[in-house]
Amino acid sequence: MCIKVICADRHPVLLIGMQAIIEGLEEVELVGTANNCTSALRLSEEVVFDVLVTDTSAPAPDYDDWRSLVCLMRDKHPEKGVVLHSCKSNASYLSTLSSCGIHALVAKNDITGHLGIAIQSAYQGGTYLSPQLALATEAHSRLYGKPVPLSYREIEVLRLVLSGKKVTEIAQMLLRAKQTISTHKSSAMFKLGISCDAVLFKTISEEDISLLAGLRNTVRGVWN
């Protein structure tokens, strides 16, 4: 068995590092690298591959779509495995990624020692959290119970909050009652284990939420 991998990363230095790690893995073949969305999607049509390895912030600025690379790749190749590295350690955020079909997740500090296991898991269609992410999920479970994925509406509201919009403005934009928006926001923050806006902005970025929104948009059956 030889797992064929495409690695995409917008940062040239990180891409070189990821390439070196993957090339050092047994039973894994790096079939191509890309540093932007267009070249990654083109490469996915030109070579046979089993798994895409990319980071959570890989955007698509050179492609006519607001979603990130991993969302576009899931559209084109839903049968392929995906490994997301440099993941945030928030348990509900990880749970939401998994609910959207991204099951192999690796923290930044775990990449060197655990990328190979994640690739194998993604190839086999399994679920994998690297040690740092697993510990964060266990800690969340002890305090709040099993992590619950964010719904589409909760993601939508958080995305607008993180972009600087007030609850009243969001209610007007989405044609919803202010109380409804406040409920979505409070529910999302509770799931994330976040108590106030200041912590929200430190914990989750607009880019993180945009990734979740794109994946929810791709996996249409999980909207609620």
- Summarised one tens digit per residue, pLDDT across range 33-78 is 998 888 888 999 999 999 999 987 655 555 555 577 888 888 889 9
Residue 212 has pLDDT above 50, yes or no: yes
Cα R_g (the chain), whole angstroms: 18
Q: Which of 55-59, 84-88, 178-182, 218-222 has the highest mean pLDDT?
A: 178-182
pLDDT at site 149: 95
User: Under CATH, what is the fold of the domain 3-143?
Assistant: Rossmann fold (3.40.50)
The region of weakest confidence among 11-20, 28-37, 127-136, 208-217 is: 208-217
Phi, psi angle pair for 51, to nearest 5°: -140, 135
Type of residue numbered 47: V
pLDDT at site 219: 59
Signed CA dihedral, 30, 33, 37, 40: sign only: negative
DSSP for 61-93 reads TTSSSSS-HHHHHHHH-TTSEEEEES----HHH
Phi, psi angle pair for 150, to nearest 5°: -75, 140
User: Under CATH, what is the fold of the domain 151-222?
Assistant: Arc Repressor Mutant, subunit A (1.10.10)
Domain boundaries, the chain: 3-143, 151-222
Q: Report residue 117 CA to chain centroid gap.
A: 18
Question: How far apart are the C-alpha atoms of 145 and 92, rounded to whole Å?
Answer: 11
pTM of the model: 0.88
Residue 102 has pLDDT above 80, yes or no: yes
Euclidean distance between the first and the last CA atom of the chain, given in angstroms as a whole number: 40
- Token digits of residue 155: 């993601």
pLDDT at site 165: 94
Characterize 157-174 residue by residue with b for buried, 16 or more Cβ atoms within 10 angstroms of its Cβ, and e for exposed: bbbbbbeebebeebbeee
